[in-house]
């Protein structure tokens, strides 16, 4: 999505919601796009976002009227089944969908595993995809609407631990990336860091167990524990890194 046009598109979304008194939606958005869009909402204007599952990276933004607390997001999950020996990648699936002329913003997360991939898309393109897609690359696939848990996980994870002086975001990012505090601050203030799919630019923001931290050009991390202490009183930060 064109970030330069995003503020105007979000303002139009809010105006349409206020005019019709109905929820209106925009997306799928990346963490950085979401951060830009949310800034267009006034304090008294309700909004929410969702990507089809709780830890989604790409999400749809909803402008909500006062009466709406639990919006029905226009998201459909599609499961692709194929032989486990056929090694398909995120790029293969995205390419197959884009080749149909589908806009990138209608496609959310693509969760790939051996023999099964789950893709989240907007409702308005779901039927077209279910009807038209027979192959991804040269691999035959069978499509069904919905998904069965557990969802595929993108990439394997490696477990690590490190000691930190606090759970401030700048301190944690420096330790996760093995960089100086100054470098970590620059990453955060430049908008390179998101927590649970939301761009965070506040250096003093505190993180907690189960938070998923994405650092552009450095990778994805999930905190698994930050409530144990070393003998020297430092916090033992345990985390998984996606590889």
Would you kindly state where each structural domain of the chain is located, as residue ranges? 3-64, 75-145, 157-242
Name, in order, each residue with C-beta under 8 angstroms of 181's C-beta and a sequence gap of 6 or more.
Answer: 170, 171, 174
The pLDDT value recorded for residue 181 is 96
Q: pLDDT tens for residues 63-105?
A: 999 999 889 999 999 999 999 999 899 999 999 999 999 999 9
Which one, of 70, 53, 75, 89, lies nearest residue 212 by Cα?
Answer: 53
Q: Which of 232, 224, 221 is nearest to 175 (CA)?
A: 221
- The verdict on domain 75-145 having CATH code 3.30.70.330 is yes
Strand residue runs (E) in the chain: 24-29, 46-50, 59-64, 75-81, 107-113, 116-122, 135-136, 139-140, 142-145, 157-164, 193-195, 198-199, 212-215, 219-229, 235-242
157-242: in CATH 3.40.50.1240: no
* pLDDT of the residue at 154: 60
C-alpha of 123 from chain center: 18
Least confident of 37-41, 155-159, 213-217: 155-159
Backbone φ and ψ for 160, nearest 5 degrees, come out as -140, 170
What pLDDT score does 162 carry?
Answer: 96
CA distance 135 to 232: 57
Which residue's structure tokens are 């631990």?
A: 161
pLDDT in tens, 186-228: 999 988 888 886 778 899 999 999 998 988 778 889 999 999 9
Spatial contact of 108 and 44, defined as CB atoms under 8 Å apart = no
Cα(first)–Cα(last) distance of the chain, in Å? 27
Q: How many helices (H) and strands (E) does the chain have?
A: 6, 15
Strand-by-strand arrangement of the 59-64 sheet: 24-29, 59-64, 46-50
* Global model pTM greater than 0.75: no
pLDDT attached to residue 133? 97
Q: CA 78 → CA 97, 147, 215, distances in Å? A: 12, 7, 28
């Amino acid at each position: 999505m064109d970030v330069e046009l995003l503020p105007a598109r979000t303002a139009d979304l809010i105006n349409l919601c206020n005019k019709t008194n109905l929820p209106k939606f925009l997306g799928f958005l990346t963490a950085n796009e979401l951060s830009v869009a949310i800034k267009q909402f006034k304090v008294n204007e309700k909004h929410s976002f969702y990507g089809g599952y709780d830890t989604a990276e790409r999400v749809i933004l909803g402008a909500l009227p006062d009466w709406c607390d639990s919006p029905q997001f226009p998201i459909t999950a599609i499961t692709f089944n194929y032989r486990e020996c056929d090694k398909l990648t995120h790029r293969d699936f995205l390419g197959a969908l884009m080749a149909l002329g589908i806009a990138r913003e209608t496609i959310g997360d693509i969760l790939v595993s051996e023999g099964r991939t789950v893709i989240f898309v907007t409702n308005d393109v779901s039927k077209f995809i279910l009807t038209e897609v027979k192959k991804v690359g040269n691999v035959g696939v069978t499509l069904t609407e919905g998904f069965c848990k557990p969802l595929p996980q993108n990439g394997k994870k490696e477990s690590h631990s490190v000691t930190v002086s606090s759970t401030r975001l700048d301190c944690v990012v420096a330790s996760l990336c093995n960089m100086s505090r100054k470098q970590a601050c620059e990453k955060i203030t430049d908008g390179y860091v998101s927590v649970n799919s939301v761009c965070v630019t506040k250096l003093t923001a505190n993180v907690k167990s189960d938070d998923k931290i994405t650092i552009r050009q450095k990778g994805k991390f999930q905190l698994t524990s930050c409530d144990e202490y070393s003998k020297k009183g430092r916090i033992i930060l345990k985390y998984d890194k996606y590889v």
